[in-house]
Amino acid sequence: MAATSSSGARVLALASSPQGLSAARAAQGKKDTVLTVLQTESFPQAETAAGALYDAILVLDVGNIQDGAAARPAAQALAQAVCRAVAPGGFVLVAEGSGDAEQARRLMKRLLVYEGLVSATDSEVASFVADHLTGFETPIMWTGRKPTWAAGAADTVSGSNGVVASGSNEVDADDLIDEATLIDPAEAYQPLGKDRSSCASRPKACPNCTCGRKEAEEAAEKTRRKLESGEIRSSCGNCYLGDAFRCAGCPYRGMPAFKPGEKVSLEETSVVAPVPGMQKEVATVSMNKVRIADLGDDM
């Protein structure tokens, strides 16, 4: 609640339309409450930095502010003046039914929130009106309240003074986990970034391979030799059938089908084919290389 002076609460009513002025005249202050009525249009100019702080401001109408972008500067000036004039903890009541445009009243509410006002509860407003005003029966569209704290304010938090609350979880030194024990020392360090080498574009792994391809090829070759010697047997049973039936990591990938126990070897073969338009020459394909040989008068 706003801090009222010893002489009572100070209430300001802003009105310009006939409906607003009629509502302002009907309202009267109780006890030592001082009720002041000012025109809405003249209030931003009349309000000064050292002006009085009011415990409540009744915005009975928004004056000549209409809906549209052109009315925003005038509405913003009115909202800023209202927020400066209301005391910390004081109320701002925006009335409805004054004949103003609906969008203009919503604009005023939005600008008041932008200036720092927070929503007030109906019970707080009803208690203030019942204690300080009589004859005020104008319907209210929105009620706001100026916070008692300033923007950017800080507050201290009392400490526990070393006392542990009942039921809190205490962590012993034995319950702590050493992060170094979570790392497997057997895992090889994989370099990242520009210093990491890759053999993906090469037919074989590099001698100083660091991407893991060399180790994978050596493991596959070792497994293949064990399969051929009969030391181990195929777990899936499809290694002998060809690539269509082999697993993704099968050491026989890329090799032809074979019989169990048979050693797989790729022999060098040559294919001779005549070259179209060249009766005395043939093309020999050997180890993925094409060679053209002159056969003389044999053809």
Q: What is the pLDDT of residues 76-106, one digit of tens each?
A: 888 888 888 898 899 999 887 545 567 777 8
User: 72-85 and 102-114 are packed helices; what angle lies between their axes, rounded to 10 degrees?
Assistant: 50
Q: Quick one: tokens of 211?
A: 């991407």
Q: Quick one: tokens of 114?
A: 């932008």
User: Hey, what's the torsion of the CAs at 38, 44, 45, 51, to 10 degrees?
Assistant: 80
pLDDT grade for 6, boundaries at 50, 70 and 90: very low
Query: In degrees rounded to 5, what are phi and psi of residue 45?
Result: -80, -35
Query: At which residue do the structure tokens 């702590």 appear?
Result: 176
> Under 8 Å CB-to-CB from 61, ≥6 apart: which residues?
14, 15, 16, 17, 19, 20, 40, 95, 98, 99, 100
Here the contacts of 216-222 (C-beta below 8 Å, separation 24 or greater) are 220/249, 220/251, 221/251
250 appears as a binding residue in the annotation: yes
pLDDT grade for 3, boundaries at 50, 70 and 90: very low
pLDDT value at 233 more than 70: no
83 appears as a binding residue in the annotation: no
Cβ–Cβ under 8 Å, residues 8 and 31: yes
What is the rounded CA–CA span in Å between residue 89 and residue 55?
8
Cβ–Cβ under 8 Å, residues 283 and 275: yes
| Residue 69: strand, helix, or coil | helix
Which of 235, 234, 253 minimizes the C-alpha distance to 243? 253
Quick one: average pLDDT of 126-151? 85
pLDDT value at 168 more than 70: no
Q: What is the pTM of this model?
A: 0.47
pLDDT value at 144 more than 80: yes
Which of 4, 2, 3, 14 minimizes the C-alpha distance to 93? 14
The residues that bridge with 284 in the sheet, in sequence order, are 272, 291
What is the rounded CA–CA span in Å between residue 193 and residue 87?
61
What is the rounded CA–CA span in Å between residue 292 and residue 107?
90
Predicted pLDDT at 186: 66
What is the rounded CA–CA span in Å between residue 213 and residue 299?
50
The amino acid sitting at 228 is: E
Buried b / exposed e over 252-279, threshold 16 CB at 10 Å, is: beebeebeeeeeeeeeeeeeeeeeeeee
pLDDT digits (tens, 9 = 90+) for 13-69: 888 877 778 888 888 877 778 888 888 777 777 655 446 688 999 888 877 676 566
Plot region of 260 (φ>0 → left; ψ -120 to 50 → alpha; else → beta):
beta
The amino acid sitting at 126 is: A
DSSP-derived secondary structure letter, 195: G
